[in-house]
A and B are shown apart, each in its own frame.
Chain A
Amino acid sequence: MKTDDLVTMLAAGVDAVDPNVAAQRYATAIGWGACIAMLLMALLLGVRADLADVVRLPMFWVKIAFVGSLAAASLVAASRLSRPGAQLAWVPAALAAPVLAMWLLAALVLIGADPARHAGLFFGATWNTCPFLVAMLSAPIFAGVFWTMKGLAPTRLRLAGAAAGLLSGAIGALVYSLHCPELEAPFLGFWYLLGMLIPTAAGALLGPRVLRW
Chain B
Amino acid sequence: MSEGEKRLRDLLVRGLAGDAAAYHAFLKDLSAHLRAFLKKRLVRLPDEVEDLVQESLLAVHNQRHTYDVNQPLTAWVHAIAKYKLVDLLRRRSGREALTDALDPVNDLFSSADTEAAEARRDLRRLLEQLPERQRLPIVHTKLEGLSVEEAARVTGMSQAAIKVGVHRGLKALAAKIRQE
Distance between Cα atoms of A9 and B139 in the complex (Å):
9
Distance between Cα atoms of A124 and B174 in the complex (Å):
52
A152 with B63: in contact, given A13-B20, A15-B18 (CB under 8 Å)? yes
Smallest beta-carbon distance B136→chain A, Å: 14
Q: Are A22 and B123 in contact (CB under 8 A)?
A: no
**Which of chain A's residues 1-34 have a Cβ closer than 8 Å to chain B?**
1-4, 6-19, 21-22
Return chain A residues, CB-CB under 8 Å to B24: 7-8, 11
A73-84 vs B: 1/0 string, CB under 8 Å?
000000000111
Distance between Cα atoms of A86 and B69 in the complex (Å):
12
Q: Are A3 and B31 in contact (CB under 8 A)?
A: yes
Distance between Cα atoms of A82 and B105 in the complex (Å):
19
The reply on A90 being an interface residue by CB < 8 A is no
Q: Are B83 and A155 in contact (CB under 8 A)?
A: yes
Distance between Cα atoms of A10 and B63 in the complex (Å):
12
**Which of chain B's residues 85-143 have a Cβ closer than 8 Å to chain A?**
87, 105, 116, 118-119, 122-124, 138, 141-143
**Which of chain B's residues 41-61 have a Cβ closer than 8 Å to chain A?**
50, 53-54, 57-59, 61
Distance between Cα atoms of A139 and B87 in the complex (Å):
29
Contact-residue bracket for chain B: 35 or more
Candidates B66, B80, B142; contact of A12 at CB < 8 Å: B142
A3 with B50: in contact, given A22-B66, A84-B79, A86-B71 (CB under 8 Å)? yes
Q: Are A17 and B64 in contact (CB under 8 A)?
A: yes
Return chain A residues, CB-CB under 8 Å to B118: 2
Return chain B residues, CB-CB under 8 Å to A83: 66-68, 71, 76
Smallest beta-carbon distance B140→chain A, Å: 10
Can you name 16 extra interface pairs (CB under 8 A) apart from A13-B142, A85-B76?
A3-B57, A4-B31, A7-B24, A7-B31, A9-B143, A11-B27, A13-B141, A14-B18, A14-B23, A15-B18, A84-B80, A84-B83, A86-B75, A152-B63, A152-B65, A153-B80
18 contacts between A and B (CB under 8 A): A2-B116, A3-B116, A6-B54, A10-B170, A11-B15, A12-B141, A13-B20, A17-B16, A19-B16, A82-B66, A85-B71, A85-B76, A85-B78, A85-B79, A152-B65, A153-B59, A212-B87, A213-B62
